[in-house]
């Protein structure tokens, strides 16, 4: 089964913990990159940078980042070559599916403020089960991002 790295900040900590248990129960190999405990004054770059590096380095792995909006976490992740983070904070699920099919997103950044635990679980599971299309035009565009 796929390896999934998890990381959050204080605002996403509770949802990250729930997602870790949820994914483990479904057979995913989960590695939690922190924080290990709730830290109200932590800074998301401190946990998201290791997540982005781990996903970029470990071929075939995926990552889930969780924060208040998910926006800052995605920005932090996308600063690392090979990390392609998409944000999902609710609405049409086609958004996160296209991030996999067209952009080969390997990190899903979630909003703990705008998603319920159930919505987040459904989104993460569907996202993890969606494959990249592999179309040449999409591969060409992804290569330009990494160049």
Annotated catalytic residues are 73, 102
Find the farthest-apart pair of alpha carbons in the chain and give their distance in angstroms, rounded: 44
| C-alpha to C-alpha distance for 105 and 86, rounded to whole angstroms | 6
Task: Give the helix ranges, DSSP H, for the chain.
Answer: 13-25, 45-57, 71-77, 94-101, 117-128, 136-146
CA 21 to chain centre: 16
Length reported for the chain: 147
Q: Give, in order, the Cα–Cα distances in Å from 46 to each of 41, 65, 91, 127, 138.
A: 12, 12, 29, 25, 31
Q: Looking up tokens 């996403």, which residue turns up?
A: 12
């Amino acid at each position: 089964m796929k390896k999934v790295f998890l990381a959050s900040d204080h605002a996403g900590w509770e949802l990250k913990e729930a997602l870790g248990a949820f994914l483990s129960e479904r057979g995913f190999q989960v590695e939690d990159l922190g924080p290990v405990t709730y830290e109200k004054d932590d800074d998301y770059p401190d946990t998201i940078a290791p997540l982005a590096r781990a996903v970029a380095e470990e071929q075939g792995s995926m990552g889930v980042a969780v924060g208040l909006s998910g926006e800052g976490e995605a920005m932090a992740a996308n600063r690392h070559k090979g990390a392609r983070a998409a944000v999902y904070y609710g609405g049409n699920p086609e958004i996160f599916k296209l991030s996999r099919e067209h952009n080969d997103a390997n990190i899903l950044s979630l909003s703990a403020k705008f998603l319920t635990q159930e919505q987040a679980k459904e989104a993460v599971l569907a996202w993890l089960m969606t494959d990249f299309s592999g179309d040449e035009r999409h591969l060409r565009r992804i290569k330009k991002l990494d160049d």
